[in-house]
């Protein structure tokens, strides 16, 4: 097979065969194809798009480019939840112990944060002693013993995706729905869960900025899952504003523990966690319908069993379980400042990606891979869309190691929150389910 012929075919909008997709992915992973040929193919895919069976072929080829985890030693139906990325998306920290407490085994591989979106692995590492670098054997053992484990994604999971993603990033080919779908699903398939629940975010802090694109991406991923024999569902949820109030690693751990303690029951974060959790319970066959599942989850938050599962999980992975009672054990910021509204009115909109960027500038996130972050840094929002505010009212509190860029971040944050005279009707938090 010659790569130039494959590029030529795709450039002209023809369909590539399973063997051709396998060849491209295998050869590129093995460094046998130059980046310029792969870049040309990616651009052809961007313009010509690819059909459903091609996307499934590409996804499977990427999943098989590295290690495929085998979770068959763990009894029960293993579920995985994946968010397409957002700001203050603390759901995994809450959902994992919540559904584990209901008897659903959670074997989850997670990533680190990049750009304006946070990563579960960084958040967990703000707990003193917590180890995310488990071996595969430790990972499986921990799930068998405790019903829950979360480990960092290793380099041998879908290595083709890592290489292609880096190339897409510098060739303006990130924003292709089949490429995003195959990227996400290849990692989920390699990570071994039986059932996959996707939380596709839409809005000012998400990859997908409009609902039509979010639905297309969700349908594509659900279809790929079905074609490769993994039951997959997707919930489309709003990222028009930060989901929780905390943006930053230890700050999000605190907010998650507060929810697990039975708090914040009226919040958007709580609502999304219960929605996703109820789908996970029905997908794992431990509840017959979403209403019963939701009740069961609400009970385990109220009666402390979800919190006890979180504590057990933290201890099992080497962390200090006392954090559930004592937040002073978490990394502490040395400087803080309140950002106040400079005009009165109603919060009209929040540029959510900019809020994520503010947290990054305070030290909570990375601008490039491998960068050190400050686990105590970040911000706490004090307002949501539709809130009425007066001049001088706090909109957020910033936390960092020092006050060096508080002035810059404060002005950026004020720019990200638009205040106007009109009352605002907020859109739905959960748009719907694709299954």
Binding residues (CB under 6 A) for ligand URA: these are: 84, 165, 179-180, 183-184, 207
Beta bridge partners, 106, equal 79, 148
Q: How far is the CB of 407 from Ca ion (least distance, A)?
A: 30
Beta strands in 61-169 (DSSP E): 79-83, 106-110, 148-152
Nearest partner of 75 among 5, 1, 145, judged by Cα: 145
Active-site residue (options: 82, 201, 264, 296): 82
Q: How far is the CB of 139 from ligand URA (least distance, A)?
A: 20
Written as six digits, the tokens of 344 are 């009165």
Question: What is the distance between the alpha carbons of residues 179 and 46, in angstroms, rounded to a whole number?
Answer: 8
Q: How far is the CB of 82 from Ca ion (least distance, A)?
A: 7
- Whether 14 contacts 45, CB under 8 Å: no
Q: Which residue is nearest to ligand URA (CB)?
A: 183
Active-site residue (options: 168, 188, 296, 309): 168
Q: How far is the CB of 334 from Ca ion (least distance, A)?
A: 28
Beta bridge partners, 148, equal 106
Question: What is the distance between the alpha carbons of residues 7 and 295, in angstroms, rounded to a whole number?
Answer: 53
| Strand bridging mode 345-350 / 388-389 | antiparallel
Using the minimum distance from each CB to Ca ion, give the nearer residue, 57 or 252: 252
Strand-by-strand arrangement of the 388-389 sheet: 388-389, 345-350, 417-420
Q: Which does 180 bind (CB under 5 to 8 A by kind): ligand URA, Ca ion, none?
A: ligand URA
Nearest partner of 113 among 387, 383, 404, 372, judged by Cα: 372
* Residue 161 bears catalytic tag: yes
How far CA 253 is from CA of 112, 118, 142, 365, 399, in Å, comes to: 15, 12, 21, 15, 15
| Strand bridging mode 345-350 / 148-152 | unpaired
Using the minimum distance from each CB to ligand URA, give the nearer residue, 25 or 179: 179
Q: How many C-beta atoms lie closer than 10 Å to residue 101's C-beta? A: 27
Q: What is the DSSP letter of 71?
A: -
Q: Which does 236 bind (CB under 5 to 8 A by kind): Ca ion, ligand URA, none?
A: none
Written as six digits, the tokens of 341 are 């509204």
Question: What is the distance between the alpha carbons of residues 12 and 21, in angstroms, rounded to a whole number?
Answer: 16
Q: How far is the CB of 182 from Ca ion (least distance, A)?
A: 18
* Residue 22 bears catalytic tag: no
Using the minimum distance from each CB to ligand URA, give the nearer residue, 61 or 306: 61
Using the minimum distance from each CB to Ca ion, give the nearer residue, 83 or 250: 83
Question: What is the distance between the alpha carbons of residues 218 and 235, in angstroms, rounded to a whole number?
Answer: 8
Q: Which residue is nearest to Ca ion (CB)?
A: 83
* Residue 187 bears catalytic tag: yes
- Whether 117 contacts 249, CB under 8 Å: no
Active-site residue (options: 64, 187, 294, 309): 187
Q: How far is the CB of 177 from ligand URA (least distance, A)?
A: 10
Q: Which does 109 bind (CB under 5 to 8 A by kind): Ca ion, ligand URA, none?
A: none
Active-site residue (options: 161, 194, 199, 374): 161
Q: Which does 207 bind (CB under 5 to 8 A by kind): Ca ion, ligand URA, none?
A: ligand URA
Q: Which does 406 bind (CB under 5 to 8 A by kind): Ca ion, ligand URA, none?
A: none
Active-site residue (options: 183, 204, 278, 351): 183
Q: Which does 157 bind (CB under 5 to 8 A by kind): Ca ion, ligand URA, none?
A: none
* Residue 82 bears catalytic tag: yes
Using the minimum distance from each CB to ligand URA, give the nearer residue, 84 or 360: 84
- Whether 351 contacts 412, CB under 8 Å: no
Using the minimum distance from each CB to ligand URA, give the nearer residue, 42 or 377: 42
Q: How far is the CB of 180 from ligand URA (least distance, A)?
A: 4
Question: What is the distance between the alpha carbons of residues 409 and 214, in angstroms, rounded to a whole number?
Answer: 30
Q: Per-residue x/- marks for Ca ion, 74-113, CB under 5 A?
A: ---------x------------------------------
Q: Which does 24 bind (CB under 5 to 8 A by kind): Ca ion, ligand URA, none?
A: none
Catalytic positions, written as ranges: 82, 161, 168, 183, 187
| Contact residues: Ca ion, CB under 5 A | 83
């Amino acid at each position: 097979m010659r790569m130039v012929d494959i590029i030529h075919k795709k450039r002209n909008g023809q369909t590539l065969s399973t063997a051709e997709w396998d060849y491209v992915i295998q050869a590129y992973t093995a460094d046998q194809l130059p980046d310029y040929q792969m870049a040309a193919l990616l651009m052809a895919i961007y313009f010509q798009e690819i059909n459903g069976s091609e996307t499934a072929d590409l996804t499977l080829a990427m999943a098989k480019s590295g290690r495929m985890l085998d979770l068959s030693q763990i009894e029960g139906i293993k579920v995985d939840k994946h968010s397409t990325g957002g700001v203050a998306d603390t759901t995994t920290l809450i959902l994992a112990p919540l559904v584990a407490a209901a008897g659903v085994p959670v074997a989850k591989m997670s990533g680190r944060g990049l750009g304006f979106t946070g990563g579960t692995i960084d958040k967990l590492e703000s707990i003193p002693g917590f180890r995310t670098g488990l071996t595969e054997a430790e990972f499986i053992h921990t799930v068998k013993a405790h019903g829950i484990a979360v480990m960092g994604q290793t380099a041998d999971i879908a290595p083709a995706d890592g290489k292609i993603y880096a190339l897409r990033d510098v060739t303006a080919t990130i924003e292709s729905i089949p490429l995003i779908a195959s990227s996400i699903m290849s990692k989920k398939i390699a990570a071994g869960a039986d059932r996959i629940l996707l939380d596709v975010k839409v809005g000012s802090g998400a990859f997908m900025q409009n609902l039509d694109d979010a639905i297309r991406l969700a349908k594509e991923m659900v279809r790929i899952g079905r074609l490769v024999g993994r039951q997959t569902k997707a919930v489309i949820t709003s990222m028009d504003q930060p989901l929780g109030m905390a943006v930053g690693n230890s700050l999000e751990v605190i907010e998650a523990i507060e929810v697990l303690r039975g708090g914040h029951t009226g919040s958007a974060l709580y609502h999304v966690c219960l929605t996703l959790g109820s789908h996970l319970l029905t997908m794992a066959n431990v509840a017959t319908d979403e209403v019963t599942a939701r009740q069961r989850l609400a009970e385990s938050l109220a009666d402390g069993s979800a919190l006890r599962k979180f504590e057990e999980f933290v201890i099992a992975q080497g962390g200090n379980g006392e954090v559930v009672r004592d937040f002073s054990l978490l990394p502490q910021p040395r400087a803080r400042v309140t950002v106040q509204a400079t005009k009165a009115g109603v919060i009209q909109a929040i540029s959510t990606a900019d809020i994520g960027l503010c947290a990054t500038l305070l030290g909570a996130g990375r601008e490039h891979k491998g960068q050190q972050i400050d686990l105590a840094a970040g911000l706490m929002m004090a307002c949501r869309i539709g809130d009425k505010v007066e001049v001088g009212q706090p909109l957020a509190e910033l936390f960092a190691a020092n006050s060096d860029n508080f002035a810059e971040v404060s002005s950026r944050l004020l720019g990200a929150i638009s205040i106007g005279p009109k009352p605002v009707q907020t859109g739905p938090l959960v748009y719907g389910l694709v299954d």
